[in-house]
Each structure stands twice: as C-alpha cells, then as structure tokens.
Chain A
Amino acid sequence: MRHSKCLADSLVFVSLLLFASTQVAHAYVDPGTGSYVIQLIIAAIAGLAFAVRIYWGRIKGFFSRSPSAEQSTSADEQ
C-alpha cells in the first residue's frame, strides 16, 4: 500500500520533471538536492521491483512446492 502510494507520487513527480521548463544555471546552484530527490524516487520504484522479484520467486516456490507437499500429507494420512 505504502509502495503504491510512493509509485503514484513518483509518477506525478516524473511527469512534472518531464514537462518542467528549463532554467538558467547559476554559480550557486547545488546539484545535490536534485540528486537526493531523484534518488528517493528511483529507489522507491526500484525497491518495489526488487521486492516483487524476491517475493515472486518465493510465491512461485510456494506453489511449485505445494503439490508434492500435499502428496506427502495424503501419504501420511493413509
């Protein structure tokens, strides 16, 4: 839930960036803030993808394991 909100926020922000007008560069500009903000956004998306990949692996593992598990349970019952 928290991730989906993050993702939605991110997409809005990304769209804002894409359409943001370009600004004149000044000597006092700090690239750090922009790097910080974009990192949070990318990490939220990448973290979600990373989690999905890990959990998808576990879910697949769970289902591929379950028939044999059932078999052994029914064998025990007999």
Chain B
Amino acid sequence: MSNRAALPSSFRDPSGFLFAEDGSLYRQVNQAYRESYDHLTGSGLYDALTDSGSLIRHEEVALELARTDEAYRVLKPEVVPFVSYPYEWCFSQLQDAALLTLEVQKKALDFGMTLKDASAYNVQFVWGKPVLIDTLSFDRYHEGQPWAAYRQFCQHFLAPLALMSYTDVRLGQLLRIHIDGVPLDLASSLLPHRTRLSFALLSHIHLHARSQKHFAERTVDVKSRKMNRLSLLGLLDNLESAVKKLKWQPKGTLWSDYEEEDSYSADALDQKRQLVADLLDQVQPRVVWDLGANVGLFSRLASNRGIPTISFDADPGCVERNYLESRRKSETNILPLLIDLTNPSPAIGWQHEERMSLMERGPADLVLCLALIHHLAISNNLPLSMVADLLAIICSSLILEFVPKTDHRVQRLLSTREDIFTDYTQEAFERTFSQRFEIQASVQLEGSERVLYLMTRRRT
C-alpha cells in the first residue's frame, strides 16, 4: 500500500489516513475498513456519538478526491481549531480525555462495536470539550473478545494520571518522551507502595507490568481464552472508577497561588484590562495566543469576545485552575495548555513528523505577552533580540507589557543574581523590538513604570 499522501500523524492505520488538499483536511477510508465503517454509520452509533459531542462530525465527499485506489469513502471531518497533545494538558484535561474514551467504548458496545485504539492522541479539545477525532477507531465487537485497546488505555491514560496524582504532577511530561504512553514497568517503579492497596492500581498497573514481563518470552495460546461481555463491562467500569478516583489539587506549584492583583492596585489592574480590551477591539484578531497566561485573566478578554484563544502557561497548577474555570463556565473559546516557552513542544515521533512542534501550529494573529518579558530576559538570560525574533515568528500583532528594572518584581528577580543585564532598559527594548515590529501605541500603566505596547510585525 502506498500512503505517501497521508499526513504523518496517521500513517500507522491500514483502515485509512488523513490528507490535506487546498487547505482542507480529508480522511480516506480504505476498502479494508468498509464493513466497520458501514456498521458505524448504519447502526446509529455515529449519530449517537456525534449528537452527544463525543465524536467529531464529518461529511462524506466525492470519492474522486481519494488519493489511492483502495479508497472506499472520502470524509471531510470538522476542523479542530488547534491541535494539542497529552503532554500539553493539565491533570483534569487528561482525566476528561480518559473518561471520554471509556464512555465512547461503552456506547460502542451498545451498538455492537468496540474501540481498537485508546490513544490519547485520538482525543482533541474542540470548543472546550474533549472529542474523539479518529472515526476509524471502531471495529465490530464479537462476543468473547477482550478489549484490544486495554494496554494502550493503561499506558496513555491510567499510568500518567496515577503518576501525576500520587507521585508528581510533572511526570505527565513522560508522555513527551514515550509516544505510545508511559511504559507500565516504569510507572510501577515510580508509584508509591501505597498504590498497591488500591485494587485498580494494583491490577491495571503493578500486576499488569509484572504480567508483561512474566509472559514476555512465553508462548501462550491466548486466542482460545474468551472474555464474556459482563467481564468486559466490569473491566470498563473498574477503569472508569479508577480514573475518577484519581485527584490532583493545584497547591504548592510556583505560580498557582500567584494573584495578578499583587503587582497592581485595583485601579491599575482595571486600567490594564481596559487597555488590553481596547487594543483587542482595535486589532480584531481571529486567533490569540496568550503567553504566560497564569490562570487566564487576560486570555478571557479575548475568548469572551468570541476569539479562539490558546492560554499557555508553564505551571501545571495555573493550567489546571484555568481549565477547571473554563469547564465550570462551559467556555468554548479558551484552551489552556501547559507550555514552557523556553522549551516549547518539539516535533516528535517518526522522522519528527508524527506530532507537530508548537511553532508548526502557529502563527497566531495576535500574541499577548503580559508581564513575561522580564522572566525571559532576566530569569532565562535571553537577549531581547532573540525574544523579538521568536515573537515575530509566532504572531503578526503583539500586545506586550514591558516591566522595567526598577519594578519591584524585577528587583526581586535580581536580588539573588548579579545584574549583568545592562541592556535591559526601555530604550534598548524599543530599539531592539523596532527591528522586527512597528510600535503602534504605548501607554504607561497607572501607578507603575510598566508600559503596555501594541506592535505589528514588519514585512520582511
């Protein structure tokens, strides 16, 4: 089979693949998947899942668009506004994606189908909610067969969630190294002993890892062993309650208790909000990225205006609080994500092409960079010219708050390090950024020496 036309994220599946043409995304369904696809649409499962918002909608388009002659159907799925990956999600986002996967599997069984994959990459956050985006993940269910995606579910969801909950929330980043989920022997060795007292974690992680090792070189006739439907439902029910029981409270991370208000008086904060809101109305961007968004106070100025907004922060506690608020308020335009701008998500997987880098997913129309520049320039020793270079790649308009060296926050940063930052002045900042951007407006914030800028990227 030649699937050179396939997008690199979908080359593993013989059932079909994604391809792009004229800026639109299509999914070819191969003849090999014909029976399953017909059952998905004919049984009512597709309607049930799309009506509940659990599965991405698609329309069937002309077969002439097919890229290879083994095509059975060509689909045009609903567009995912921003693709994000499990290592960019906070605890509750990964937990919600896990629960969605189980819910879809249970619904599929009602219609005589089963999920053959339980990859966290098959879930995307679309308009605030997790949605399964792989229409080709369903196979016919035959009585007696176990869940083919069980191991993948444990590796992609249960193990990282347990590690984040019991060991350290930062272990969610293991998903960035292990593209097919956290190896269970690794999870087992990192989890505290008390997790062996939980039946679910003892069995799905510790004994599961032990069993993998035990049977690694043994030949067992597994095909003759059957699993009845009640057992399968029991397994899914057990996984669901295990996932729901896992908790993580965002306390004690560096920024999660930080209040924006600390740096401003109430009037100054109101002024800053009003200024940012006015600038957003002036630029009217279609997509906003808020870098160093904390819990998303300023992101919401954009998202509440109906602008799809990605709200990045490097602190898991902030992203968690941001996501919980968006979930509580059923917000559709904000997507909180865990991104460290000094080490953003790289392109990973086969030939660096399976998962996109952050830069490949840009640019945004407008970037909010509020009270962040001093962290980049002083905490991270980044020359201002390099900060300007990066921002010029990822946006065409920029709202940036410059925090001068005299500011008490900067003074605090400098209290434990030698001041080698002689170029960190407002004048040098304006001169450096003017090489990449045109300064459209600048306003000093009341009661502080901070200055808010609106800039537009220079055409090169």
What is A's interface to B at a CB cutoff of 8 Å?
14, 17-18, 20, 22-23, 25-26, 28-51
Q: Let me know if B213 and A34 touch, CB within 8 A.
A: yes
A47 and B232 contact, Cβ closer than 8 Å, known pairs A23-B217, A31-B212: yes
Q: How distant is the Cα of A27 from the Cα of B219 in the complex, in angstroms? A: 16
A50 and B233 contact, Cβ closer than 8 Å, known pairs A17-B210, A17-B211, A36-B222: yes
What is B's interface to A at a CB cutoff of 8 Å?
146-147, 150-151, 154, 184, 203-204, 207-208, 210-218, 220, 222, 225, 227-228, 230-235, 237-238
A34 and B214 contact, Cβ closer than 8 Å, known pairs A43-B231, A47-B228: yes
Q: What residues of chain A lie closer than 8 Å to B151, measured between beta carbons?
A: 31-32, 35, 39
Q: What residues of chain B lie closer than 8 Å to A46, measured between beta carbons?
A: 231, 234-235, 237-238
Q: How far is the CB of B412 from chain A (nearest CB, A)?
A: 49
Q: Let me know if B237 and A50 touch, CB within 8 A.
A: yes
Q: Let me know if A34 and B215 touch, CB within 8 A.
A: yes
Q: How far is the CB of A40 from chain B (nearest CB, A)?
A: 5
Q: Let me know if B227 and A43 touch, CB within 8 A.
A: yes
Q: How far is the CB of A69 from chain B (nearest CB, A)?
A: 29
- Can you pick out 30 interface pairs between chain A and chain B where the beta carbons lie within 8 Å of each other? A17-B211, A20-B210, A20-B214, A23-B213, A23-B214, A23-B217, A25-B213, A29-B212, A31-B151, A33-B218, A33-B220, A34-B211, A34-B214, A36-B146, A37-B211, A37-B215, A38-B203, A38-B208, A39-B146, A40-B146, A40-B225, A42-B204, A43-B146, A43-B232, A44-B227, A46-B235, A47-B233, A47-B234, A49-B234, A50-B230
Which residue of B154, B227, B237 contacts A40 across the interface (Cβ within 8 Å)?
B227
* CB < 8 Å A-B pair total: 113
Which residue of B150, B210, B222 contacts A33 across the interface (Cβ within 8 Å)?
B222
Q: How distant is the Cα of A30 from the Cα of B220 in the complex, in angstroms? A: 11
Q: What residues of chain B lie closer than 8 Å to A14, measured between beta carbons?
A: 207
Q: What residues of chain A lie closer than 8 Å to B233, measured between beta carbons?
A: 47, 50
Q: How far is the CB of B145 from chain A (nearest CB, A)?
A: 11
Q: Let me know if A34 and B212 touch, CB within 8 A.
A: yes
Q: In the complex, what residue of chain B is closest to A48 when comparing beta carbons?
A: B234
Q: Let me know if A51 and B230 touch, CB within 8 A.
A: yes
Q: How far is the CB of A73 from chain B (nearest CB, A)?
A: 34
A25 and B216 contact, Cβ closer than 8 Å, known pairs A39-B227, A40-B225: yes
Q: What residues of chain A lie closer than 8 Å to B154, measured between beta carbons?
A: 35
Q: How distant is the Cα of A61 from the Cα of B428 in the complex, in angstroms? A: 77
Q: What residues of chain B lie closer than 8 Å to A25, measured between beta carbons?
A: 213, 216
Q: What residues of chain B lie closer than 8 Å to A51, measured between beta carbons?
A: 230, 234
Q: In the complex, what residue of chain B is closest to A16 when comparing beta carbons?
A: B214
Best-buried of B208, B218, B232 by chain A (most CB within 10 Å): B208
Q: Let me know if B216 and A43 touch, CB within 8 A.
A: no
Q: What residues of chain B lie closer than 8 Å to A45, measured between beta carbons?
A: 203, 234
Q: In the complex, what residue of chain A is closest to B231 when comparing beta carbons?
A: A47
Q: In the complex, what residue of chain B is closest to A30 when comparing beta carbons?
A: B216
Q: How far is the CB of A7 from chain B (nearest CB, A)?
A: 12
Q: Let me know if A17 and B214 touch, CB within 8 A.
A: yes
Q: How far is the CB of A29 from chain B (nearest CB, A)?
A: 4
Q: Let me know if B235 and A39 touch, CB within 8 A.
A: yes
Q: Let me know if A49 and B216 touch, CB within 8 A.
A: no
Q: What residues of chain A lie closer than 8 Å to B150, measured between beta carbons?
A: 35, 39
Which residue of A18, A23, A28, A39 contacts B147 across the interface (Cβ within 8 Å)?
A39
Q: What residues of chain A lie closer than 8 Å to B235, measured between beta carbons?
A: 39, 42-43, 46-47
Q: In the complex, what residue of chain A is closest to B209 when comparing beta carbons?
A: A34
Q: How distant is the Cα of A49 from the Cα of B241 in the complex, in angstroms? A: 13
Q: How distant is the Cα of A26 from the Cα of B210 in the complex, in angstroms? A: 15
Q: What residues of chain B lie closer than 8 Å to A42, measured between beta carbons?
A: 203-204, 207-208, 235, 238
A43 and B210 contact, Cβ closer than 8 Å, known pairs A25-B216, A33-B222: no
Q: How far is the CB of A72 from chain B (nearest CB, A)?
A: 34
Q: How distant is the Cα of A48 from the Cα of B235 in the complex, in angstroms? A: 10
Q: What residues of chain B lie closer than 8 Å to A26, measured between beta carbons?
A: 216-217
Q: How distant is the Cα of A41 from the Cα of B151 in the complex, in angstroms? A: 14
